[in-house]
Amino acid sequence: MLESFSCNIEQIEKTKQLGKILAKLAQVIKIKAITLEGDLGTGKTTLCKSIADNYLEQQIDVSSPTFTLLNIYETAKGQIYHYDLYRIKNPDEMVELGIEEALNSKALILIEWPNFAANYVKTLSNTTNVDIVWNEQQMRKASIRVNTTQKLTFV
């Protein structure tokens, strides 16, 4: 089942709140991966930080992993693989970047710029997609598509 909702995130606080909601959702319905799409600077990394902080229940040092492609965060509450595929040269690099280990573990996977490895990303099941766009007022708007077998009653 695909559940969709959207929200304006016109201030950074809203992006942080959305991260909190997505972290909770990931825990409750056991989302495996969250893909984050949107132009440069729309706030994908900011959203990842909020998801990580809330999911791992600790302030996580989420610098944009653009140059490393992958950062792994771990606390007593769980593990997150955070990919930023903007500079990936070949989608097959996903194997070197531990995608198999990530899939076979209990880790939550966050992927900025999923389109750069679309053939890998589309094989992921139980995935939620967030797409951040500029609305007519040049404010950020997030559209969220949750793949779930559960009925989400709060959206």
Ligand X SMILES: Nc1ncnc2c1ncn2[C@@H]1O[C@H](COP(=O)(O)OP(=O)(O)OP(=O)(O)O)[C@@H](O)[C@H]1O
Closer residue to ligand X, CB minimum distance, 2 or 40: 40
* Residue 141 in the binding site for ligand X (CB under 6 A): no
Q: Classify the phi-psi angles of 34: left when phi > 0, otherwise alpha if psi is within -120 to 50, otherwise beta.
A: beta
Is residue 24 within the footprint of ligand X (CB under 6 A)? no
Minimal distance, residue 1 CB to ligand X, in Å: 28
Secondary structure class of 112 (helix, strand, coil): strand
Among 56, 109, 120, 140, binds ligand X (CB under 6 A): 140
Closest distance to ligand X from the beta carbon of 23 (Å): 16
Report the alpha-carbon distance of residue 48 to residue 61 in Å, rounded: 11
Candidate list 12, 28, 118, 155; residue touching ligand X; CB under 6 A: 12
Closest CA to 128 of 41, 47, 66, 58: 47
Q: Applying CB under 6 A, which of residues 19, 23, 26, 43 lies at the interface with ligand X?
A: 43
What are the C-alpha distances in Å from 93 to residues 73, 102, 116? 20, 14, 11
**In this chain, which stretch among 33-41, 52-60, 73-81, 102-110 interacts with ligand X, using CB under 6 A?**
33-41
Q: How deeply is 46 buried, as exposed, middle or buried, from its count of CB atoms within 10 A (0-12, 13-18, 19+)?
A: buried
Binding residue for ligand X, selected from 3, 14, 20, 133, defined by CB under 6 A: 14
